A and B are shown apart, each in its own frame.
Chain A
């Protein structure tokens, strides 16, 4: 093992990465509730913010869909780039069912090995507080109905830019809880919604 240090220009400051961590945690603790990242550098990274804010030299990451961004994030965090199936942190810039299916889910004995996955979307509408969430406002998107821990009753999220079968793949990966993967939907302008593995997802 060799030593190496942060040298990239994309690197988040300590405080920026701490605030991102807090926001991402908040999103997972409140599935389907809109959380907004405020650090400009983090917002610019899109779904790769997962890796940029959370990875270090010992965290294997996969960033699929933009090789330049992948190498910049890797340079900034010193995180090694690996195939999706070996990554602890995954960013899918063009989410597809087959890619989600490759993400690690861990096992009942080792649920911590399940991947944390960022999914880029082009539109994201969700309630910011305890509201049940939006009604679909565009025919081109997908409406998810969420249920489970952290959700009172049900909550709806409206997404553009991700096919419905991606969410079916997530549900399939999470069918043997506590094994599974934890996902964040990352929309434009730093909008983030968490979909932890404990959340039951239905595509309406």
Chain B
């Protein structure tokens, strides 16, 4: 199944940094293509705006630390932004994004990484839910 562009970015942003960097390094082994750094990798913030439910008013809860990078690789733009301060992971995710966008030789591996991440997230969510479910209060009626 082919992932949408946005979902792919989400999964790459959530992927294990070690695997991202290793995969991007393998992409870069293709010496016939040069990597053009369009921007970053830059550490900065994203302002987190929320709408509170009482009066429906927006306010800024605070900033979120992110790292963002954009590259041109195999004639396609790759983009990544992830939480935290990790320039190597952001750059690697942008390269992986472009590799897949351009249909490069390691596309299948990028898709595989995304699939692994998605499976891991699902398993973690299931695990979390079953842990939490044990803490639901069940009241006894006292008559």
Query: Touching in the complex, A and B, CB below 8 A?
Result: yes
Q: Within 8 Å CB of B49, what residues of A?
A: 1
Contact A7–B70 (Cβ < 8 Å): yes
Distance in angstroms between the alpha carbons of A5 and B39 in the assembled complex: 9
Chain B positions near chain A (C-beta within 8 angstroms)? 38-40, 42-44, 46, 49, 68, 70, 79, 81
20 of the cross-chain contacts (CB-CB < 8 Å) are: A1-B49, A3-B46, A5-B39, A5-B68, A5-B79, A5-B81, A6-B39, A6-B40, A6-B42, A6-B68, A6-B70, A7-B38, A7-B39, A8-B39, A9-B38, A11-B39, A13-B42, A14-B42, A14-B43, A56-B44
Question: A5: which B residues are within 8 A, CB to CB?
Answer: 39, 68, 70, 79, 81
Which range contains the number of A residues in contact with the other chain? 10 to 19
A6 CA to B40 CA in the complex, in Å? 8
How many angstroms from the CA of A14 to the CA of B49 in the assembled complex? 25
Q: Which residue of A lies closest to B58 (CB)?
A: A1
**Closest CB of chain B to A8's CB: distance in Å?**
7
Chain B residues with CB under 8 Å of A3's CB are 46
Q: How far is the CB of B4 from chain A (nearest CB, A)?
A: 18
Closest CB of chain A to B123's CB: distance in Å?
30
Complex: A11 Cα to B39 Cα, angstroms: 7
Decide if the interface of chain A is mainly helix, strand, loop or mixed: loop
* In the complex, chain B residues whose CB is within 8 Å of the CB of A6: 39-40, 42, 68, 70
- A7 CA / B42 CA spacing, docked (Å): 11
**Given the complex, which residues of A lie within 8 Å of B79, measured CB to CB?**
5
Interface members, chain A 1-24 (any B CB < 8 Å): 1, 3, 5-9, 11, 13-14
- Complex Cα gap A148–B42 (Å): 38
- Closest 6 A/B residue pairs (Cβ): A6-B39, A11-B39, A14-B42, A5-B68, A7-B39, A7-B70
**A192 CB, min distance to chain B CBs, angstroms:** 24
Q: How far is the CA of A180 from the CA of B42 in the complex (A)?
A: 33
What is the CA–CA distance of A198 and B42 in the complex, to the nearest angstrom? 34
Which of chain B's residues have a CB closer than 8 A to the CB of A14? 42-43
Residue of A nearest to B39 (CB): A6
**How far, in whole Å, are A13 and B68 apart by their CA atoms in the complex?**
12
A5, A9, A13, A56: most-surrounded residue (chain B CB, <10 A):
A5
